[in-house]
DNA sequence: GTCTTGCTTAGTCATGGGGCTAAGTATCAT
DNA sequence: ATGATACTTAGCCCCATGACTAAGCAAGAC
């Protein structure tokens, strides 16, 4: 509409896959090497690595290689952006009456919906 | 990992497109007919309609046809599911210390990360 | 040095997503 | 009845995604 937001695109896109969400859930219990993350997923390693790359490009995880092991950890800042995107809509389900006009105002204030 | 969640897939997928997020933002100011929604988007109508279909299949909007006009409205329940999915991760950015173990517990309790 | 481990790169393939045009159908206006 | 309006369906095109195998490479074990 007014402005595109490619980073939000990548963010939601990254979350639109069960393997990738599972990786995030796994990483929620702390950093882990690729092989640990891959173990539960019945998938060839290169295929799995693509998912890791997608998550990293979306900014949802970071990784560092030490020796021959690459360790991944969650980068929760991006999840916070989803929360932020969600915020203007929240009145819609927390109140009985939608209060559309107020909502429109907050959506126009910062065009996070575009 | 344990169980797939196709509806979460569709939900995030639907949000991974700026046109579709713009439609949601538009609908936040109240129900609107297709043509109103389509107007700001420089796109052929059939292409735009696909987006509407995706949103509707994801459960993010509903629509009813009356006469020759189809009117769409937001269905915020699905947005709430995103909020729910986000919930177990929220401690990660609201506290300084991650408290990984607690988080893992809540993620295993209901496998919303799969 | 040789072998194993843990990624990494390269290349292929099938499917699906997002765009288009063209043509169809059902209302509503005149 | 005619014509405009508001979708709707059908079909095509291209590129991105998600999977695979095969082969490469660097680090650690022995």
CATH of the domain at A70: 1.10.10.10
Task: Tell me the torsion sign for CA atoms A35, B93, A85, A62.
Answer: negative
CB B73 within 8 A of CB A89: no
The helix (H) or strand (E) run that includes residue B109 is helix B100-109
Phi, psi of A89 (to 5 degrees): -85, -15
Nucleotides on strand D with an atom closer than 7 A to protein CB?
Answer: 5-11, 17-22, 26-28
The helix (H) or strand (E) run that includes residue B50 is helix B45-57
Q: Do B18 and A4 touch (CB under 8 A)?
A: yes
How many structural domains are present in chain B?
Answer: 2
In chain A, residues 67-86 whose CB comes closer than 8 Å to chain B: 74, 76-77, 79-80, 82-83, 85-86
* pLDDT tens, per residue, chain A with 114 residues: 434 465 899 999 999 999 999 999 999 989 999 999 999 999 999 999 999 999 999 999 999 999 999 999 999 899 999 999 999 998 888 765 556 656 666 666 554 455
Closest-CA residue of chain B to A39: B1
Give the structural domain span for A88.
Answer: 79-109
* pLDDT tens, per residue, chain B with 114 residues: 434 465 899 999 999 999 999 999 999 989 999 999 999 999 999 999 999 999 999 999 999 999 999 999 999 899 999 999 999 998 888 865 555 656 666 666 554 455
Do strands A61-66 and A69-74 pair parallel, antiparallel, or not at all (unpaired)?
antiparallel
A90 and A58 within one domain? no
3-class secondary structure, A26: helix
Residue A114 placed within a domain = no
B98 and B69 within one domain? no
Residue B114 placed within a domain = no
B19 and B30 within one domain? yes
B19 and B47 within one domain? yes
Q: What is the DSSP letter of B87?
A: G
Given this model, what pLDDT does residue A2 score?
Answer: 37
Joined tokens for residue A78:
């991006």
Given this model, what pLDDT does residue A3 score?
Answer: 44
Given this model, what pLDDT does residue B105 score?
Answer: 62
Residue A88: name the closest of A71, A108, A70 by CA. Answer: A108
């Amino acid at each position: 509409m007014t402005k595109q937001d490619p980073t939000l695109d990548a963010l939601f896109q990254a979350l639109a896959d069960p393997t990738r969400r599972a990786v995030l859930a796994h990483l929620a219990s702390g950093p882990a090497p690729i092989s640990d993350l891959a173990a539960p997923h019945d998938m060839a390693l290169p295929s799995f690595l693509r998912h890791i790359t997608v998550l990293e490009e979306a900014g949802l995880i970071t990784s560092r290689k030490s020796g021959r092991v690459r360790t991944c950890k969650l980068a929760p800042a991006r999840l916070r952006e989803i929360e932020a995107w969600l915020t203007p809509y929240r009145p819609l389900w927390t109140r009985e009456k939608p209060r559309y006009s107020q909502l429109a105002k907050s959506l126009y204030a910062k065009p996070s919906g575009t």
